[in-house]
Amino acid sequence: MAPADRSAGALVLGATPLGDARDASSRLAEALATADVVAAEDTRRTRALAAALGVTLAGKVVSCYDAVERARAATLVEAVRAGQTVLLVTDAGMPSVSDPGYRLVAECVAEDLPVTCLPGPSAVTAALALSGLATDRFCFEGFAPRKQGERERFLAALLEEPRTAVFFDSPHRLASTLADAVRVLGAHRRAAVCRELTKPYEEVRRGTLGELAAWAGEGVRGEVTVVIAGAEPCTPAAEDLVEAVRRRVAEGERLKAATAAVAAAEGVSKRELYEAVLAAREGE
């Protein structure tokens, strides 16, 4: 691939506040004031944000929401190629994370045009941090599907997922999603529902899926992010590992060595597994 054209402009992804305009970075305010083109998911909300920040939008403001992003991308890429700075902002959070932006970024990357970002608010990491659940490993699953069958398959993929899962949902469908989660994942799986983050009515509900489903049944409003604990590791019973030990012994390994290796790999007691192997022999 040819080296990047240093005379080209840049595509700048600007993270916007989730609700409180004071969370906007000074770099975002500067970018809004100086960008040649501001591509906005909702131009009215972007103008309102600029006004709240005391910023005048000097550049051209164009819409770039899901339905028009593909068609708009060629024009915006051409603007970057021509040396202009294109600032992409969505209604809240980082563009391209379950928001418009992926296609535009991909096309700029394909042409080796500069792409950078102004980091900032993120509903995903904010909800994860507030959930009280494990944060060392997590996966983001986008939006929960609208249709029940697709939603159940979506949740089934989390049945044995060891990482904490984060996803967005509509407040109108949250009760149905959590009811499905109870059926698929079990009522006792830990979870949290974060709504209206950084806004006056911010609320974080923590508990089991069963408890949260009962709460959501009364009706929920606002922007919603759901966090579900990862699956607990399942340690097999010693009796279920007898055959694995037998296979290793049949291949020439000594019984105690085979038992120790299988026990270590599966996280069970070496003594209990050895006794299970002996008991199985006696029962034959």
Domain assignment present for 41: yes
Tell me which long-range contacts 114-117 makes (C-beta under 8 A, separation of at least 24).
114/4, 114/8, 114/9, 114/10, 114/11, 114/80, 115/10, 115/11, 115/12, 115/13, 116/10, 116/11, 116/12, 116/13, 117/12, 117/13, 117/14, 117/15
Average pLDDT over residues 46-53: 97
Both 186 and 106 in a single domain? no
Report if residue 134 sits inside a domain. yes
End residue of a domain, out of 228, 247, 263: 228
Report yes or no on 4 lying in a domain.
no
pLDDT band for position 7 (cuts 50, 70, 90): low
- Do 201 and 144 lie in one domain? The reply is yes
**Domain check: are 24 and 91 in the same one?**
yes
Over residues 16-47, the pLDDT tens digits come to 999 999 999 999 999 999 999 999 999 999 99
Q: Are residues 105 and 128 in the same domain?
A: no
1 pLDDT above the threshold of 50: no
Hunting for tokens 């009215």 — which residue is that?
A: 44
Residue entry with tokens 């694995």:
244
Q: Indicate yes or no: pTM above 0.85.
A: no
Least trusted range by pLDDT, from 10-24, 107-121, 129-143, 270-284? 270-284
Q: What is the tally of structural domains in the chain?
A: 3
Residue 59, pLDDT above cutoff 90: yes
Supply the pLDDT for residue 32: 98
Please name which of 88, 86, 99 lies closest in space to residue 43, comparing C-alpha atoms: 88
Range of the domain at 246: 238-282
Which residues are bridge partners to 10 per DSSP?
85
Report yes or no on 146 lying in a domain: yes
